[in-house]
Every structure is written in C-alpha cells, then in structure tokens.
Structure 1
C-alpha cells in the first residue's frame, strides 16, 4: 500500500550544510599539503602538526553536528563556538610561521580551511550572521599577520562575500519551503473540503431541500420547519463552497468569512477573488456585520431582508449592510445609548474606530437602514 507525504519537515537549507562539510574536508586536505610543503621552514613544526590534528578533529566534530537532518541539532551556540575555535587555531600562526613566511605570501597554518565558518554561520543565522563571521575572520587574519595588507583585505572580502551569499541562499530556501508547505496544506484542505462537499450534497443538502419543498406545500407549522430547513440549506451550501478562512501568514479571507453569514434573509455580494486582511481586522469586521444583522433581526421585523456588499478598493475595504425594514427613528440611537444599550456604540462604532476606519448610517422612516464601514487594509 502506497503512502503519500507532503513536503518534508527536514531543514530546507540542508544542501548548504552538506556543502560546508564537503568544503571543510577539501580545505583540510589542502592545509595538510601546505604543512607537508612548509614543514622544514616552520619555526615550530611540532606545533604545526598539533594544530593540524586539532583542525582534523574539529572537522570531524562539526561534520557530525552539521550533518544531522533537523535544524534543532545545528545548535546556535555550537556555530558560534565553531567561529571561536577557528579563530583560535588561526591565531597560533605567529608561533608556527617564521617572520619571512608571516610577512610574505605563504598561507597561515589554517589556510583556506577557515572558509567553512562563514558558510555554517550564514546557513544558520542568515546573511547577517554570515557577514559577521566573515568580518571576525578578516580581523583575525590581520591580527595573525601582524599587518593589514592587500592580501589580507582580499581574504576578508572573500570571507564576507561567502557569508553573505550563503546567508541569502539559506534564508531564501527556508522562505520557499514555508510557502511550499502552506500551499500543500491549502491543497490538502481544499481536497478534503471538496470531498465533504460531494458527500454533503448527495445526502444532507438533498434531504434539507426536500423538507423545504414539502413543508412549503403542507403549510402551517410545516411551513415554519420548511423555512428553517431552507436557512440551514443555504448556510450549509455557503460553508461547503467557501474557501477555508484559516490564517495564512497571519492573514485571512474577509470575503469567505462574510459569505458564511448568508441565509434565506441575508444576501452577500463580494468580489470574485480573495480579500485578505490581517486576521484581527477580519474578525473585527465580521463582528461588526454580525451586530448589524442582529439589529435587523431584532428591530426590522420577521419579514425584513438584508444585503451585505463587500468592496475591495486596494488601500481600504468598504462593507455596506442594508435592510428593507422600517428604518431607525431620529434620536432612537441616542436614547438607546443613554439607557445603557451599547450594541451599536461599542460593538460597531468602537470596533471600527479601533481599526482606524469610519462608519456612517443612512436611515429614515420607511426607507430601511444602511451602514457603510470603511477600514484601511493595513
């Protein structure tokens, strides 16, 4: 039986870690060759071989740590320790090289082996970490050489550039992997929603539709049950045909959230595409619309209908809630607020003002009520 899995949870920048491991091994071999070639010229050959042995041990240790699959095993403190140990080994060069070697073009005892550190630091901490490691190693090279020469500056620039490029690559890889995981979760959620929609359509929705039609034919109490069945049918259809409203990088679809408020008495009109806002703004605007619809249900009469219109103007969204009820008499809202009924004052106006928006009311007797809410998208 085959099993299908989504994108792996393994560190997206794993190839960079493995590349750094490979580079360390190759540069360690280069350092070995350099020690063999210059062994007779060193003022302390024994110390040179000791440092080379320490480099080999450290290469093995870092390879074991950095080869672990999960990012949590690439400890941040260990990467910093890697930088410290590498600088310490490099600073032994003045005790190993003779003055001519130190002031000439001969490599330090660590040679290009130090290039593995900006790669590890950039992979773990991004471009800032990679550049910082390159700067530290560049300064360490100047201290070990006891001079700041053109060769030292060149090596520093190459180390900084390596850390920058690897850091940018690691950051891009992780962001791309996060987007891929989000897209995969959305695809799975949509597939499951479509499966449930087919199942519900073939069972529950057909039963509700039959109850609605039959109840309307019988009349009386059955007609009331038919009306309730019709409302549930509309709500259920909106639920199974609406895109998921879960957060995506902290943003939700206002259009989908408002469509769930549709019923036999409430019609919702919205743009064809998503209207994504920060999750908090979406929840607050939905609460405002619910309060407006609740007032229609309470005060406009059982036969009143309501219409919700959503407009996306780019920098702001406009929500209009209109009903065909008797309207609000002049002074009614002020009297209600003085009597302690603060639904409109707090639940509607308060929420909109906190979002930095505006809310206006257009009403008069026998003309219904219309609320217009304007809120910035950010």
Structure 2
C-alpha cells in the first residue's frame, strides 16, 4: 500500500528542497550577524548533504525506513543545537531565524507520513523542544511554533493513516468483487453440469430402490453440500482482519445437519472464526460417530454484541454419565482437546446439556472483547 501515500512523499521531497533554498537565503541575509559564520556554513552544508540523501531515500519505496526517519529527527535536533554555537545570546533572544529555520519541520512530516499521527506528534514535540532549548525562553513565538509542529505531525499522520486504511478497504472490496464474479461463473457451470447429474442420480436411485437407494442418498447429500458451497458468500475480511463466521458454518450443512445464523454478518477475528468452525465440525463428527446415522443436528449462531454463541444440538441418545471422563482415560481426546481446548484458548465458556434419551447440546460462548485483543 506504499503507493497510497506516494503524493505525500513527493510533497515532502519538494518541501525539503524549497525550505533548504529558503535557509540559504536566510544565511546570506543574516550571516554578518552570526558569531561564528564559518560554523553557520558548516551547518548549512550538512543540511544540504542530508537533504540530498533524504530526497534520494524518500523518493524510493526501499528508502522509506524507520531508521532513516529516526536519523532525520536526531540530525535535525543536532543541527538546531549547533545553532547555539553559531549565534550569540543577543541573536538567540531576538526573533531572527536560525540557520536551520523552516527546514526543521521536514523530519516531522517524514515521521507522520511513515508511521502516523503518534510518531509525527512526537517528532514535532522534539523539534519544538529543541527550539525552546536553544532560544532559552518560552514566549508566544515558541508556543506558536510548538502548536504548528505538533499539529503538522497530527494532521499529516492522520491523513496518511486514513489513506492507507481506505486503500486497504478498496483492495479488499475489489478482491471480494472478483471472487464473487468467479464464484458466480463456477456456480453457473456447476449448476449446468454436476448438480443436474447428482439430482438425476438421486431421483433415479430412489426409483430403483435397494442398494441403489443408498447411493441416491449419498448423491443427495453431496448435491446439498455442493449447492451450499456455490451459494455461500466468499469469506470477506475487514481491515482489522475480521471475517464473517456464517459462511464457514453454513458449509457444514447437510440433509441431517442444519445451520441457522443471523441475517447480518457475525464478524470475528479470522483465527477465532476458524476455531469455532473446527469445534463445530468436531461436534457434528461426534453425532455421526456416536448418535447413529439417523440422528439429526442443528447448529445455531447468535450474535449478542459482547459475545457470540454457537449451539450444537442433536436428537441422538445422549451421553451417559461418566462417558466423557472414561473416554479421556482411554486416551480419546476429541472432546477434551478439539472442543474444550479450543474454547479455553478463545477465553470462552462451554456448557454441555445431555442425558440418556435427551440428545446432546453444546453451547459455546466466546466474548468478543477478548477476540479483539482485549478491547471493544
């Protein structure tokens, strides 16, 4: 996304050149008032060399590094400090410009464009603090310069951050649009071929009966799964790396397993959504293995704002008392690791409701604030 803030870097390059020329004019006009004119030219020479170096770096993607910006801020502060030895005390107490003059804010702009408003404001505060130090006073002029320097860091930092986020959103939107078009193309192709064949096999198998009916049932399950796949929305991430939980769970739907989800997106961090989908798949696998081939299951997703709840319920025979503990003792860790372990990693809670002849229901609650790094 470096191209997003390219105009800001180009503006900084021109700012550096223009302010260097302005500084040159200041030196030519005020050099007779310098206590050490030779040192003033040395300071200006360093400014010229550093300007050429930063113009080279900031004009290239590879040169826009934190190390260069930090060096820029430190060198600017050092040159401002050197002005203490260029000018005498009377000159410093006046409002006459130093050798560095308006060249100094260039490092503030660089910090803001590269890292945002925080580092930009910090760089502005450093430059303003050094100006206050060499002037030896804090008056209206110094206060004004401080506000301007910190303000430049804030405004340009905010602008660069917003530009990057907007470019990221646009990039993701274009990716989603391309994925949707490709999915629609594949869906048409699949509908015209594979789905029609599966539907024909299912109908013909039921008509023939016997072992063919079993094949027809399998074909029907694959038809439903394939229809769910081609009709579900592609996973879409936000700038913060969140994805919609619903499409991932809806792919688990079969003739025996139903998935119900809200009409609106259920956004969670990608890792959290993947873990919830994995534990749901494990719970449904347990239904297949332990509840019998005729058992049905229902998956319900609820978005309660502060937390997301996923419930998996089946109409099987239920889990006898002590069966889970016995399975763990036998080394069968499906529930302990695939379900309980995942819920613990997500800082959620897990409730099991079961009994002989009552079916089984898992209720998983994941707090949204912990999934977002501990904050809402």
TM exceeding 0.5 = yes
Flag structure 1 segments of 5+ consecutive residues without an equivalent: 1-8
Residues 37-64 of structure 1, C-alpha deviations (whole Å, 9 max, x = no match): 2233334444434433443333232222
Deviation (angstroms), 1:159: 1.9
Deviation (angstroms), 1:122: 1.8
Deviation (angstroms), 1:107: 0.8
TM norm structure 1: 0.86
Residue number in structure 1 paired with 2:7: 15
* SS at 1:359 equivalent: strand
Q: Does 1:132 align with 2:122?
A: yes
Q: Does 1:226 align with 2:242?
A: no
Residue in structure 1 matching 2:275, options 262, 281, 284: 284
TM norm structure 2: 0.86
Residue number in structure 1 paired with 2:374: none
Q: Does 1:269 align with 2:253?
A: no
Residue in structure 2 matching 1:317, options 308, 316, 319: 308
CA RMSD of aligned residues (A): 2.7
Deviation (angstroms), 1:148: 4.2
Q: Relative to structure 2, which stretch is displaced further, 128-137 or 34-43?
A: 34-43
Q: Relative to structure 2, which stretch is displaced further, 46-55 or 81-90?
A: 46-55
CA gap of 1:214–1:18, structure 2 versus 1, over 3 A, is: same
Residue number in structure 1 paired with 2:373: none
Q: Does 1:205 align with 2:225?
A: no
Q: Which structure 2 residues correspond to residues 1-378 of structure 1 after superposition, within 5 A? A: 9-68=1-60, 70=61, 72-245=62-235, 248=238, 249-329=240-320, 332-333=323-324, 336=327, 341-354=332-345, 355-365=347-357, 367-378=358-369
CA gap of 1:89–1:332, structure 2 versus 1, over 3 A, is: closer
* SS at 1:91 equivalent: helix
Residue number in structure 2 paired with 1:3: none
CA gap of 1:139–1:320, structure 2 versus 1, over 3 A, is: closer
CA gap of 1:55–1:267, structure 2 versus 1, over 3 A, is: same
Deviation (angstroms), 1:119: 0.8
The separation in 1 between residues aligned to 2:363 and 2:76, in whole angstroms, is: 65
Task: Report how many residues are paired.
Answer: 367
Flag structure 2 segments of 5+ consecutive residues without an equivalent: 370-376
Deviation (angstroms), 1:316: 2.5
The separation in 2 between residues aligned to 1:33 and 1:222, in whole angstroms, is: 94
* SS at 2:293 equivalent: coil
Residue number in structure 1 paired with 2:372: none
Do 1:363 and 1:370's aligned partners in 2 also have CA atoms closer than 8 Å?
Answer: no
Do 1:349 and 1:359's aligned partners in 2 also have CA atoms closer than 8 Å?
Answer: no
